Structures are given as C-alpha cells and as structure tokens.
Amino acid sequence: TNKFREGLGKTASAIAGKVEELVLRRKKIDEAFYEELEEILIGADVGVTTVMRLTDELREEVRKRKIEDASDLQPILSEKLVALLREGADEGLRMAESGTTVILFVGVNGVGKTTTIGKLAHRFKSEGKSVLMAAGDTFRAGAIDQLEEWGRRVGVEVVKQQPGADPAAVMYDAIRAAKQRGVDVLLCDTAGRLQNKTNLMEELNKIYRVIQREMPGAPHEVLLVLDATTGQNALSQAKLFGEKSGVTGIVLTKLDSTAKGGIVVAIRSELKLPVKLVGLGEKMDDLQEFDAEQFVHALFA
C-alpha cells in the first residue's frame, strides 16, 4: 500500500490529471506539448528552475529513445521526478548511536511545528522509546499549553518554564533532564515569530550552542518545518532559515490540503536539503517518512 496516495490526492489531480489530459489531447510530443507540460508543473509549484531542468532532461531522453507518442512520456517523467527527489537524499532521521537523540524544530508560526513534534513523540513512543519534549517557544501566547496538550494526548512529559523565559535556559533544563533520566529522544520546540528576524536567529543560535555544549554531538537533526500550502513562500522561508540556523532537513506539512505538492520537488532540487518527513493530516498518525518513489507513484496513481 502506498502511504502517500490518500494524502496527495489534490496534488495528484493537479499534476497527473492534467498531464493525462494533455497527453490525450496533443498526442504528439512537440514544442507546444512541452510548453503546456511546463505550465502544469509550474502551476503545481514545482518551481521554474526545476521545471526547466526537468523538461531539458525529458527532451534529451525523448531524443535518445526516439519517442514520438505523448503517451510514452509519462513513465519517463515519473522516472525523472524520482531521480530528482532522490538526489543526495538521506535515509530517514539521524539518531544518536548511544544516549539521547536531540531533534530541534525551527520554522515560522503556524507551519505545524508543535503538531509535528506531537506526532513524532507518538511515533517514537509506539516504537517503545522514551521521549521528552522541550517547550522552547516561550514567546507565542499559548505555545507552551499547546505542547502540553500534545504531551497529555501522547503521554509524554514537557520541560517548560514561564512564558517569556529564556528559551536557551529551557533547553539547558531539558538536556539535563534527558541525561538524568536516560531519555531516548528529546524533541525541542522553538519560537517562530517572523517580525524581528535577527533576534529570532540569535535566539536559535543560542539554543543551538547550549545544546551542543551540554551534549556533544547534539542536536542530531535541526528540522525546518515548512507549510506546503504556502507554496513558493515555503521556499523563501527555507532560504532564510537555511543560511543561518544549521538546518539538516525539512519537514513539509499539510500536503493533504494543497494541490501544490510539487513544492517537494522544488525544495529538493533548489535547496539540496533532504525532505525527511511529510505531514499528511492533523491526526497523530498523519506523519510519514519521505519516500521518493512512493511519492511519485502516488502522484501518477
């Protein structure tokens, strides 16, 4: 069974549905065909640079294999998409060889950070691991409560301080608690206010340094959470965070609520950052590890 099929319905009809219609209508592969194909992919937020690269590769392949029929093109398109998504992709989350694995989550408000942390806590718990969460967003009203609500739901404790407290101090407490209790995984929330970016980046740097100092080798992942429904905006957020906060991978949320799931392809090819996890709904189980092949197959189901 394909884990992505259900969640990617909207993107699938935006890409596969339209490609199918195009193939039936045009029949032959010519310049006009490529132009329309490019429009479809750009419309699904694959991103102009990536689309141009993809169609260049398609042209070459079509020439090499001497293909004329548009109906023979779709498998090649799938192949190219899978190859692109796989490029340099890491396998899953990087975990500590021994001791606590620390995962830091960054990203702007509303993208789904807290939800992703809750889902991941649930996942690790169901694998029999001990989990702790750190309420590092001391800025947004309600952020601590929201994390605690997830904590209750999945049965995981939250390390916290008062709203307005220094998030680096929260991390210090959390690392100490994780070490004392021999916790397997520590999931750290952070603030995502976009006004005053410099301060936020400084805050994230300080958090990062405290974690590194208190636990050499940590954090094992710094995951940037991006909302797929914001399309190209997600890409510019990635550039903003990526440069400054040592991001090691992407979590792309809300793929179930958008027809612009092509953004995954753009992120892969333009950022050179692996998409580690994708959010496919609001429920506890709606989080999947990214799998290029299944993803593309879901699009052309």
Mark the binding-site residues for GTP, compressed into ranges.
107-114, 189-193, 253-256
Find where tokens 């649930």 sit. Answer: 122
Residue 286 binds ligand GDP, judged by CB under 6 A: yes
* Minimum CB distance to ligand GDP smaller for 192 or for 231: 192
Find where tokens 């995984």 sit. Answer: 185
| Rounded CA separation 282/263 (Å) | 20
Taking the complex as a whole, the smallest distance from the CB of residue 132 to ligand GDP amounts, in Å, to 18
Cis peptide before 274 (omega within 30 of 0): no
Residue 280 binds ligand GDP, judged by CB under 6 A: yes
Cα torsion 120, 125, 128, 129 to 10°: value is: 70
Distances (CA, A) of 170 to 37, 261, 276: 50, 35, 26
Taking the complex as a whole, the smallest distance from the CB of residue 272 to ligand GDP amounts, in Å, to 24
Phi, psi of 117 (to 5 degrees): -60, -45
* Minimum CB distance to ligand GDP smaller for 151 or for 192: 192
Q: x/- site string to ligand GDP, residues 87 to 126, per CB under 6 A?
A: --------------------x-xxxxxxx-----------
Is residue 250 within 8 Å of 273, Cβ to Cβ? Answer: yes
Q: x/- site string to ligand GDP, residues 154 to 193, per CB under 6 A?
A: --------------------------------------x-
| Window contacting ligand GDP (CB under 6 A); options: 16-24, 38-46, 234-242, 278-286 | 278-286
Residue 257 binds ligand GDP, judged by CB under 6 A: yes
Which parts are annotated binding residues?
A: 107-114, 189-193, 253-256
Taking the complex as a whole, the smallest distance from the CB of residue 168 to ligand GDP amounts, in Å, to 19
Q: What's CA 160's distance to the chain center, in Å?
A: 26
Query: Which one, of 203, 112, 211, lies nearest residue 159 by Cα?
Result: 211
Phi, psi of 19 (to 5 degrees): -65, -40
Q: Contact positions toward ligand GDP, by CB under 6 A?
A: 107, 109-115, 192, 253-254, 256-257, 279-282, 286
